[in-house]
Amino acid sequence: MNEVFSRKKLALHAFAVLVISVILGVILLCLAYMLPTDKMKANVAAAYDLFMDERVYHDWSNDVEYTRLDGYTDMLMYGTAIYPNEESVLNEALMNRHIDMWYEDGMDVAYWSTDSEGEYRPISYEVYWHGYLIWLKPLLLFMHPRNIRVLNMLLQFVLLAYFLQLFTKRFQGKYYMPLLAGILVINPVSTAMCLQFSSVFYIAIISMILMLRYPHIVKRRHGFSLFFLVSGICVAYFDFLTYPPIALCLPLMLYLIMRNEDSSTDYDQNTVLSVFRAGIYWSVGYIFMWGSKWFLPLIVGDNRLDYVLYELGYRSGMDDVTFWQVLTEKIKVLAIKPLLVFFGIYAVQLIVRLVIAGLKKKIVIPDYMYLLSVALVMIIPIAWYFVVREHSLHTFAYRELAGSIMAAMLFAESFLPVAQSAEK
């Protein structure tokens, strides 16, 4: 029997999840920081050539921003992982120090790991959780970054294949064009080659796998809300503010199409409200989890709240960067001939199919609530650009548009009769 929804119970559970996440987050980081770093440092040093070959912002297809990797942050991640534990474990886990040199080339970690001469200084980067350390540190005990990159590729492609398996079984080959477009925009080659881009990819894909595997989790408001709360928490814990809305938009779109295809009465909320609910709970999880990290260093006597406030103001860039500037910059990244060809071909076939359906009077009038919900998802990345303007100027933030593009394609395809009947 379905339980009756209780706001009070949900609020209580959400609060408990948040508190437990913070405690668990700290414990896991402390455990990771207990590991010896000598072997990790030696393993990072073994990848010196890799770092020096690619430098900080390597394009895997020259001068195409769409293929740009963030080697700077990858090195920062490795640098944080191998920083020797000089203070107490708790202090290190909360302060997240890495080594910085006075050079401008951003190759500090490569130099330091190989004990090159230079003036080193520890820098703490406590504004983020650095949750990736819970897997990166153990991996570095056994393998060097070159192995980790290949492992990352294998894992991502295997997860993607598993997701496709579940997705195809569920929808019988429908919606594959929006899905393909989303995958292409996120660019799995880059996410496989760059650790910094991997966190959101993993969270989004694992969330969707869970949704397809255990759909009952999100059928009721209670589970649905907690699901997105945990997703937001995970993004704040593992990610460096890369393209977080994707971890919200992709699972949310999957929920909407699952809901649209499922005529069961198990669902206890309307789709439009579900978009708002997911957005709110995801944001609460994200902001609370991230915000908690700004206060946690107080435990070890570090007060950087002024710096955090400065960063927040700077990252939003409300005064210096216009919204249109951000949006046009992001669209420009995707305005490359191959993608234009892809989307051009898609648009032409879509228009032809719509016209044929119109002539045959077979245009489907979808549920307006579904349409409105998809349209709302389309807006999420745009709204993100509006709020987080300065940070969105980073090249990699273009990936958030995958959410808008996929939603736009779902919106358009919902009028097609073919989209409604599974290709058997």
- Least Cβ distance, residue 248 to other proteins (angstroms): 24
Binding segment for other proteins among 49-57, 222-230, 287-295, 401-409 (CB under 8 A)?
A: 49-57
Question: Using the rule CB under 8 A, which residue among 30, 42, 54, 353 binds other proteins?
Answer: 54
Helices (H), 302-361: 305-316, 323-334, 337-359
268, 104 in Cβ contact below 8 A?
no
Taken in order 249, 250, 254, 255, is the CA torsion positive or negative? negative
Verify binding: residue 194, other proteins, rule CB under 8 A.
Answer: no
Binding segment for other proteins among 113-121, 143-151, 208-216, 321-329 (CB under 8 A)?
A: 143-151
Q: Amino acid letter at 115?
A: D
Question: In terms of C-beta density within 10 A (0-12 exposed, 13-18 middle, 19 or more buried), how is residue 66 classed?
Answer: buried
Verify binding: residue 164, other proteins, rule CB under 8 A.
Answer: yes
b/e code 45-56 from CB counts within 10 Å (16+ = b): bbbbebbeebee
C-alpha 210/C-alpha 229 separation (Å) is 14
Verify binding: residue 113, other proteins, rule CB under 8 A.
Answer: no
Verify binding: residue 6, other proteins, rule CB under 8 A.
Answer: no
Verify binding: residue 65, other proteins, rule CB under 8 A.
Answer: no
Question: In terms of C-beta density within 10 A (0-12 exposed, 13-18 middle, 19 or more buried), how is residue 12 classed?
Answer: exposed
Query: Which residue number, 188 or 223, has a Cβ lying nearer to other proteins?
Result: 188
111, 101 in Cβ contact below 8 A?
yes
Query: Which residue number, 143 or 372, has a Cβ lying nearer to other proteins?
Result: 143
Question: Using the rule CB under 8 A, which residue among 18, 99, 109, 193 binds other proteins?
Answer: 193
Verify binding: residue 169, other proteins, rule CB under 8 A.
Answer: yes
Number of helices followed by number of strands (H, E) in the chain: 22, 2
Verify binding: residue 38, other proteins, rule CB under 8 A.
Answer: no
Query: Which residue number, 61 or 328, has a Cβ lying nearer to other proteins?
Result: 61
Question: Using the rule CB under 8 A, which residue among 31, 35, 50, 408 binds other proteins?
Answer: 50
Verify binding: residue 143, other proteins, rule CB under 8 A.
Answer: yes
369, 414 in Cβ contact below 8 A?
no
| Total interface residues for other proteins by CB under 8 A | 45
403, 245 in Cβ contact below 8 A?
yes
Degrees, nearest 5: CA angle 200-201-202: 90
Verify binding: residue 183, other proteins, rule CB under 8 A.
Answer: yes
- Least Cβ distance, residue 235 to other proteins (angstroms): 25
C-alpha 223/C-alpha 216 separation (Å) is 8
- Least Cβ distance, residue 219 to other proteins (angstroms): 23
Verify binding: residue 188, other proteins, rule CB under 8 A.
Answer: yes
Query: Which residue number, 3 or 53, has a Cβ lying nearer to other proteins?
Result: 53
Question: Using the rule CB under 8 A, which residue among 63, 86, 104, 306 binds other proteins?
Answer: 63
Query: What is the footprint of other proteins within residues 339-378 (CB under 8 A)?
Result: 339, 341-342
| Dihedral angle of Cα 183, 185, 188, 193, to the nearest 10 degrees | -160
The 10 Å Cβ neighbour count of residue 103 is 11
C-alpha 356/C-alpha 334 separation (Å) is 30
Question: Using the rule CB under 8 A, which residue among 93, 127, 134, 192 binds other proteins?
Answer: 192
C-alpha 119/C-alpha 114 separation (Å) is 14
Measure CA 293 to chain center. 19
- Least Cβ distance, residue 178 to other proteins (angstroms): 12
Binding segment for other proteins among 108-116, 188-196, 237-245, 278-286 (CB under 8 A)?
A: 188-196
Query: What is the footprint of other proteins within residues 314-343 (CB under 8 A)?
Result: 336-339, 341-342
Verify binding: residue 150, other proteins, rule CB under 8 A.
Answer: yes
Residues that bind other proteins (CB under 8 A): 47, 49-50, 53-54, 60-64, 66-67, 142-143, 146-147, 149-151, 153-154, 157-158, 161, 164-165, 168-169, 172-173, 176, 179-180, 183-184, 188-189, 192-193, 336-339, 341-342
